A = this chain, B = another copy of it.
Amino acid sequence: MSGLLERLRGRGWRMTSQRRVVAEVLDGDHVHLTADEVHARAAERLPEISRATVYNALGELVALGEVVEVATDGRAKRYDPNAHRPHQHLVCSNCGIIRDVHPTGDPLSVLPAEERFGFSVSKAEVTYRGICPSCT
């Protein structure tokens, strides 16, 4: 339980029943749901909730920095509520399961200045790929 609801309320996020349900679905670590999965889970508690509302709420949570968008394949984006602790993702090439992982060191530090081409580089997203134990 990470107190997402409390944080959002504290930041003045207007609370509606729809937004509350979306935030509750996402609350907790190690969750990587697609927008449609969030919508399905939200609809279990609030059957009339619309897809557009879920997309709106997710977009705002991302803008607030409370949730991170993860695009590990060319398909649907996934939403990761573990935004407070920096981490990367390990994805099974077979079944698609995602684990949060913590590499040592800062991935930004291995990109030399002459390889930055004048960009002001602010972050590095790493996706590790392999086969998970269940798929071996």
Decide if the interface of chain A is mainly helix, strand, loop or mixed. mixed
Q: How far is the CA of A128 from the CA of B123 in the complex (A)?
A: 6
Q: How far is the CA of A131 from the CA of B121 in the complex (A)?
A: 7
Q: Do the beta carbons of B128 and A124 come within 8 Å of each other? A: yes
Q: Do the beta carbons of B90 and A116 come within 8 Å of each other? A: yes
Measuring CB to CB, which residues of chain A are less than 8 angstroms from any residue of chain B? 69, 71, 73-74, 77, 90, 92-93, 99, 101-105, 107-108, 110-112, 115-133, 136
Query: What are 28 A-to-B residue pairs whose CB atoms are below 8 Å?
Result: A71-B74, A74-B77, A90-B115, A90-B116, A92-B119, A101-B115, A103-B107, A103-B111, A103-B112, A104-B110, A104-B112, A105-B110, A107-B110, A108-B128, A111-B128, A116-B130, A117-B133, A119-B130, A120-B136, A121-B128, A121-B130, A122-B130, A123-B129, A124-B126, A125-B126, A125-B129, A126-B126, A126-B127
